[in-house]
Structure 1
Amino acid sequence: MYREFCFVPIFIICLTTACDRIVDHSIGQQGYKIENGVFKTISGRGMMACWNACLLRSRCASLSYSRETLECSLGRFTNKTYTGSTSDLFSVPDWDATINQGANQPCRSRPCPRSQLCVPLSNGNHTCTIEEAKSVDLTIMLDVSSTTNSTEFQDMIDSLPDVINKLYDVRLAVVFFGDLNPVVKFGLHQYNSTQDQINAIQALVYERKSGSKLAVAIDLVQNDIFNGLAGDRPDVKNVILIMVYPNNVRITDLETAASAARNDGSEIVIVSIDLKSDNGIYVLGLLSSDPINEDLVLAPSFAHLLDMGTEIVDAVMLKLS
């Protein structure tokens, strides 16, 4: 049964013993395909090209391939569903296995951010590149609750220029949240250039608010910013970037607000700062979708934000793919 996988159109380099390992640990599951979580589909390619497409993308956890339609699917998860078709192949690749040792070797360690493509170079090195630049309408929500002091607020502010500079074609809004009265500091329509957006961010002044009622602020974003008006582009993905100290956030209506935002087409990225309580973990669970690792960036402290621009941008860009 396994030997039928070992032919040239599937694997260019395939010794008898290697084929057994490929089938047992990598391809090996005929009659299955990815159940859910497909993030990229490639048509008209061979199995080897499908394998390499997964290898070059750190986000890829599994792949499935149809030998009938020549369609390759790359998945975020390792789940599978039974199809019964002998044309369908499913794989959770083992990049440490001794197969295709010469192919794309620099990318085997999955060195690139999840939103980028690893490109092997002829000198044996690699480079990471954005596969497709996409526009984003971005609302940044800043925690100015009583648990955030002025120094910590400034750390959030100082981390944002790097984030904005690394994104493509951004329309930007900023919201302060804490008590029952979150505030839109500026909207999507107010600043068009990257430098004007950065200047507006750097001009923001700390305003301490009692409480940490995040659900109210998420509702505000959906009603007043991502409403199809005042700079909200209909053909561009809406992303809410929440920078929050989660340990004291009120959980009332939080899951409802986050779910409603997603149902309206918005994506949510959470930058969790100084997570250290069961309540904080619970809050992140209420805010996040599956898989949580694609929604969440963990900052050990406010000061660490200054070095986390690449991670934050990577999380935002995953929402655009």
Structure 2
Amino acid sequence: MTSTPYKHSTQIKHEEMKTEDSVSTVMEFVLLGFSDLPNLQGFLFGLFSIMYVIILAGNCLIIIITAMDPALQKPMYFFLANFSSLEICYVTVTVPRILFNIWTQDRHISITACAVQMCFFLVLGTAESFLLAVMSYDRYVAICNPLLYPVVMNSTKCTQLAVGSWLGGMPVQLGQTCQIFSLHFCNSTKIDHFFCDVPPVIKLACGDMSVYELFVYVIVMMVGAVPFILVLASYSRIIATILRLPTAKGQAKAFSTCSSHLLIVILFYGSGTITYLSPKSTHSPGTDKLLSLLYTIVTPMFNPMIYSLRNKEVITGLRKLLLKK
């Protein structure tokens, strides 16, 4: 009679060890992506391919125009070229993988590749957030303190701000990625998303994730909400200054240089904030995918169009480039 409880406890321990082994040996995930739309796979592949080509072509064109036109050798366009370069890198982290998954219908991704994708996505997303804040600061100085603008936004300062934007979020996001992928994953290996983003990956982890989710909120506030507040503060001063300008023509010119940037800011921060800061109970895979598409593909695609169509200097630079060709 005494051997039965012992055998039972031994069996439980053996099962727990097997479970722990299976948890710790998760080697790959499955990116479900858009597999719930089997009849639209060809359409989605074509759509994302076209969008990717538009993003690459549009942003490369802005980089070339700002580099070749002497009239665009200004801080504003220096940051715009950096932003376009950043957009190309940012989109390349996710879209080629989406296209590969749709084309091959092989949705498996190793845990290492998933971690690398997440790390690059977070680092580049943080860089974009910082650079948008820097661009708003540039517009603030240009409009609110025009006499000091050449001194404040000199070439050295611009380079420092650009490098700081690219590299500023790297230590934090590397740490966050390492922390997330040090967790044990036992709920499932299926990521109901089209890339390895933080919320869907954390859902697969074992145990109480409230501490980790709080950590994610804190980081988002640091790298997203704080730059966004700086952008709002800059634009509140900019708008107040513009409204005090004596002529309607001057107001229209000032608004035209800022409205493009402000539109990009709203699209990027709006969709990102809803995804990362909205309550967990309101999350659904479909909504998360739609919002993620906004800030990973749609906004980068519209960036060159918004800046070129609403900026006379960029249009003039494009005409010069075409005439040379």
Q: Give the TM-score normalised by structure 2.
A: 0.24
- Whichever structure has more strand as a proportion of its residues is 1
Asked which structure has the greater CA Rg, the reply is: 2
Task: Tell me which protein shows more helix as a share of its residues.
Answer: 2
**Larger RCO (alpha carbons 8 Å, 6+ apart):** 2
